[in-house]
């Protein structure tokens, strides 16, 4: 390349500076497009692995910080509603509020290096997910090999699970009301959506029992 200037050294210096600036800009762009894998645990304790950019990671940090702020009040309100609904139940059907087992969503910092290729990051996330699933499967097999629980113990376990699901749903709803947005969940729950639903279920059960008693009286000799 021919330099058409009276000061070739200055021109060369400017060209080198321009090349360096382009390289830095390219590196910055690559850095902004880099992704990593993080693990996110929801209110129920379930964990997922997600591929995120630097900006998405920062946004998630803010989301979680906002959720942590409203969690104490939301949990307290949900517990009060649960306790009020519990009073309408027969003592044998009452379940303590399982809010102490519910925790705000958390995110672990990236445990692996950043990826410039999103496809590679997605594969890494799938590997981590598979490992977690294998570990969970092993634990389930170990539990199956243990002594078979008695029917009454199994019934109590089912009731505790349902109470936990209801606590998660109730706290999540309260948090969502305060945040103005839903709190993301990994799992789906099939228990009562909140304490009011639990109360309705209890009332329906009482009506069914009362109806059955009346029918039994009519059939009695």
Q: Is the pLDDT of residue 134 over 60?
A: yes
Of the two residues 203 and 193, the one the predictor is more confident about is: 203
Q: Is the four-CA dihedral 12, 17, 21, 26 of positive or negative sign? A: positive
Burial of 98-136, coded b for 16+ CB within 10 Å and e otherwise, reads bbeebbbbebeeeeeeebeeeeebbebbeebeeeeeeee
Query: What pLDDT is recorded for position 11?
Result: 60
Query: What pLDDT is recorded for position 13?
Result: 58
The answer to which of 23-27, 72-76, 92-96, 106-110 has the lowest mean pLDDT is 23-27
Instruction: State the DSSP string of 138-175.
Output: HHHHHHHHSPPPPHHHHHHHHHHHHHHHHHHHHHHHHH
Query: What pLDDT is recorded for position 212?
Result: 61
The answer to which of 13-27, 85-99, 162-176 has the lowest mean pLDDT is 13-27
The helix (H) or strand (E) run that includes residue 31 is helix 8-33
Query: What pLDDT is recorded for position 15?
Result: 58
pTM: 0.66
Query: Are 184 and 46 within 8 A, CB to CB?
Result: no
Of the two residues 68 and 221, the one the predictor is more confident about is: 68
Average pLDDT of the residues of the chain? 78
Give me the mean pLDDT over the 106-126 stretch: 82
Q: Is the pLDDT of residue 75 over 60?
A: yes
Sequence ranges of the domains in the chain: 33-219
Cα gap 107→39, rounded to integer Å? 6
Query: What pLDDT is recorded for position 109?
Result: 76
């Amino acid at each position: 390349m021919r330099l058409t200037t009276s000061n070739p050294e200055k021109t060369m210096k400017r060209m080198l500076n321009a090349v360096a600036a382009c390289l830095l800009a390219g590196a910055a762009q690559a850095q902004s497009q880099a992704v990593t894998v993080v693990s996110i645990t929801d209110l129920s304790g379930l964990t997922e692995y997600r591929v995120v950019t630097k900006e998405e990671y920062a946004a998630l940090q803010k989301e979680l910080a906002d959720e942590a702020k409203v969690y104490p009040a939301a949990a307290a309100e949900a517990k009060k509603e649960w306790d009020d609904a519990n009073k309408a139940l027969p003592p044998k059907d009452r379940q303590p509020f399982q809010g102490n087992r519910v925790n705000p969503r958390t995110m672990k910092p990236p445990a692996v290096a950043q990826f410039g290729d999103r496809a590679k990051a997605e594969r890494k996330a799938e590997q981590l997910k598979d490992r977690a699933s294998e570990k969970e499967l092993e634990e389930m097999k170990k539990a199956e090999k243990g002594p078979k629980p008695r029917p009454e113990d199994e019934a109590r376990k089912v009731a505790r699970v349902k109470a936990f699901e209801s606590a998660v749903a109730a706290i999540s709803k309260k948090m969502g009301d305060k945040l103005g947005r839903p709190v993301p969940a990994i799992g789906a729950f099939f228990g009562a959506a909140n304490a009011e639903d639990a109360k309705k279920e209890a009332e329906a059960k009482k009506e069914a029992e009362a109806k059955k008693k009346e029918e039994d009286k009519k059939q009695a000799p």
